[in-house]
Amino acid sequence: MFILPEEVTLIEVGPRDGLQNESKHVQEKDKIAFIHALQEAGITEMELTSFVSPKWVPQMADAAHIVKKTKKVGKQIVLAPNEKGANLALEAGARSIAVFVGVSNSFNKNNINRTTDESIEALKPVILKLKEQGIYVRACISTAFYCPFEGKINPDSVVELCLRFIEMGIDELSVADTVGRANPRESFELFKKLIDELPNVLLTAHFHDTRKMALANIFAAMQAGIDRFDSSAGGLGGCPFSPGATGNVATEDVAHMMDSLNIHTGISVKKVCEAVAVIAPHVSHPIDTGMYRLFLNAQL
Amino acid sequence: MFILPEEVTLIEVGPRDGLQNESKHVQEKDKIAFIHALQEAGITEMELTSFVSPKWVPQMADAAHIVKKTKKVGKQIVLAPNEKGANLALEAGARSIAVFVGVSNSFNKNNINRTTDESIEALKPVILKLKEQGIYVRACISTAFYCPFEGKINPDSVVELCLRFIEMGIDELSVADTVGRANPRESFELFKKLIDELPNVLLTAHFHDTRKMALANIFAAMQAGIDRFDSSAGGLGGCPFSPGATGNVATEDVAHMMDSLNIHTGISVKKVCEAVAVIAPHVSHPIDTGMYRLFLNAQL
């Protein structure tokens, strides 16, 4: 018989990871309404926005406004790809910052035109400076299972990369199946390995539902001992390298599975669906998650 | 660490369970093309059609033609709700017949206007006669986890019902989460209990993906020792008592998870998607499963 955690934390990534790849421009006021509705639903850790170049990602040009104008509830994280982004985030008042790097060289080269090593070396002084200032740093490790260019990733490389971030003093690792290809055995094995081989650190699992295995992967990761999961309300988001990919696992579906398993999250599934209804008219594709569909059919 | 089976059998239910609730009339020739495409994909056990009253289910009025005109490949099962249906099935040449009953009294009352006991008593002479003639009998046990009217079902009632069918000499039990509400812990626990408490019998698990937990439930059922799963190409089908429900777990998504886990099924995911493409233009809703979406985006 397996043992599951009694309590699980969901880190909401819809407003950042979800909207960052959204082709339709979402207005600042609609993003803020979405974020507030998610806070109302009981979300206490959230990726709010991203301090990337507005030239590259016009969707996130309102990052400073989003930080300033949203209510301060729990851990509000913003993404910063580099020192410039981190400085802008700090100026806006952010106290929790996420950085990211892929395990795969080819992925990093395609994504930010740097090798994995170059990416880490570039982030190191940024992270050290943030930690000096007492900022919470979340390191997002992408392509931890598969790379769209290189295929299967060696779990030892994931451990090695995680250790380098831990040495820099980061607070949390979010380890991601960016392309949505991991299966539940791989989920169990990688997270078991990370729990066994890494020193004490907040460890979060990030799954995409491209091949419909996200909840199975979350279930398997819980069996390995993981109790923190990234998720995105409405399943917003996707990987630009995976055409047709349906993106992040939906917060309402994960929260419902936890409810069903009697695992406490503090999150109201119905209120997450209400938050989804706030953003749904402003995105370019219909939202069709399990619980949101039931919500629309008045089955919640 | 958990142990998974090396080989899994998928029982395709799309042409019967899937199309039975389809509101748009599907022509006989399109059903036959769909069935043949599924056989081409490597399906060796399939629910072909249903010998129900054409007055109640006009979609299945061509049942005898479907049996007669499709190629004989592996185990071809037809559903028969009663003696009349069973006789018509035998006349058409069927050698494998499925019967069904819900565990829940209220479900049976609403579905066929009989209590569970009355349903079993009515089926008993039919099953005994079929077994005398050497017919393969599959008993489908619906609402084995939850009933839309009664809520949670007592697992002891499931065992008891299964035992009554086993006493009648049936060959296979397909135990179903008809309303798509089971979670992976419930899946593991019920199937572990059935394996432990039932004498040797072919045991099949049938999950719906309404709340997106179907693959997680299948993964958990495999951990309990199950190696047979019902699935429906394109996720066709749904429960008439669950508005908005997305119905059966998709064959292409289950087969892909098995491939990914190195579990042999003998089924080609791509060819299942090709079979889905055959039926897709003839059903009333867009098909949007994980693997079919990737197939349409040329990602397979």
pLDDT (0 to 100) of residue A109: 85
* Cβ contact, residue pair A290, B212, below 8 Å: yes
Alpha-carbon distance of A19 to A17, in angstroms, equals 6
Question: Are β-strands B96-102 and B75-79 bridged in parallel, bridged antiparallel, or unpaired?
Answer: parallel
Please tell me chain B's helix, strand, coil percentages from 3-state DSSP, rounded to the nearest 5.
Answer: 45, 20, 35
B105 within some domain:
yes
DSSP A226: -
Interface with chain B: mutation pick from A196, A209, A211, A251, highest number of B CBs within 10 Å: A211
CATH no. for residue B135?
Answer: 3.20.20.70
Q: Do A216 and B219 touch (CB under 8 A)?
A: yes
**Residue A138: inside a domain:** yes
Q: Which of B191, B211, B257, B299 to mutate: most A Cβ within 10 Å? A: B211
In chain A, the percentage of residues whose pLDDT exceeds 90 is: 83
Per CB-CB distance under 8 Å, the chain A contacts of B293 are 244, 246
Report strand pairing: B172-177 vs B202-207: parallel
Total Cβ atoms within 10 A of residue B147: 23
| Residue in B216, B223, B291 closest to A215 by CB | B216
| Tens digit of each residue's pLDDT (9 = 90 or more) over B185-196 | 999 999 999 999
Residue A46 within a domain = yes
Residue ranges of E strands in B181-294: 202-207, 228-231
Q: Can you tell me the mean pLDDT for B2-27?
A: 94
Provide the pLDDT for residue A245: 55
Closest alpha carbon to B8 in B236, B197, B189, B257 = B257
Predicted local distance difference test score (pLDDT) of residue B246: 63
Closest residue, chain A, to B187 (C-alpha): A261
Phi, psi of A147 (to 5 degrees): -115, 140
In a domain, B126, yes or no: yes
The answer to whether residue A3 is domain-embedded is no
Contact A299 B244 (CB under 8 A): yes
End-to-end CA distance of chain A: 31
Q: Is B2 part of a structural domain of the chain?
A: no
The pair of structure tokens assigned to A85 is: 């982004």
Q: Is A181 within 8 Å of B260 when comparing Cβ atoms?
A: yes
Phi (first) and psi of residue B7, to 5 degrees: -140, 140
What is the mean predicted confidence (pLDDT) over B67-84?
A: 96
Domain, as residue range, for A207: 9-296
**Nearest-Cα residue of chain A relative to residue B180:** A290
Query: Per-residue pLDDT for B241 more than 50?
Result: no
- The ipTM assigned to this model is 0.95
Residue B167 pLDDT > 50, yes or no?
Answer: yes
Tell me the mean pLDDT in the region A56-71.
Answer: 95
Chain A residues whose CB is inside 8 A of the B179 CB are none
Statement: residue B207 has pLDDT above 80: yes
Q: How many CB pairs under 8 A join A and B?
A: 109
Measured between CA atoms, how close is B294 to chain A, in angstroms?
A: 6
pLDDT at position B240? 47
Average pLDDT over residues A181-206: 97
State the average pLDDT over residues B86-110: 93
Average pLDDT over every residue of B140-147 = 94
Q: Amino acid letter at A15?
A: P
Residue of A nearest to B208 (CA): A290
- pLDDT, mean of residues B98-119: 88
pLDDT digits (tens, 9 = 90+) for A123-155: 999 999 999 999 999 999 999 999 988 899 999
Note the pLDDT tens digit of each residue in A88-107. Answer: 999 999 999 999 999 988 88
How many structural domains is chain A composed of? 1
Does A1 fall in a domain? no
Closest alpha carbon to A209 in A253, A247, A182: A247
Q: What is the mean pLDDT of residues A272-283?
A: 97
Residues A151-175, mean pLDDT to the nearest whole number: 97
Nearest CA to B48 among B6, B97, B83?
B97
Higher-confidence residue of A242 and A84: namely A84
Residue A119 has pLDDT above 70, yes or no: yes
- Would residue B121 count as lying in a domain? yes
pLDDT at residue A239 above 60? no
Given this model, what pLDDT does residue B222 score? 98
Give tens-digit pLDDT for A211-225: 999 999 999 999 999
pLDDT the model gives residue A241:
47
Q: Is residue B206's pLDDT more than 90?
A: yes
Look up A239 and say whether it is catalytic.
yes
Using a CB-CB cut-off of 8 Å, the residues of chain A touching B184 are 216, 219, 257, 261
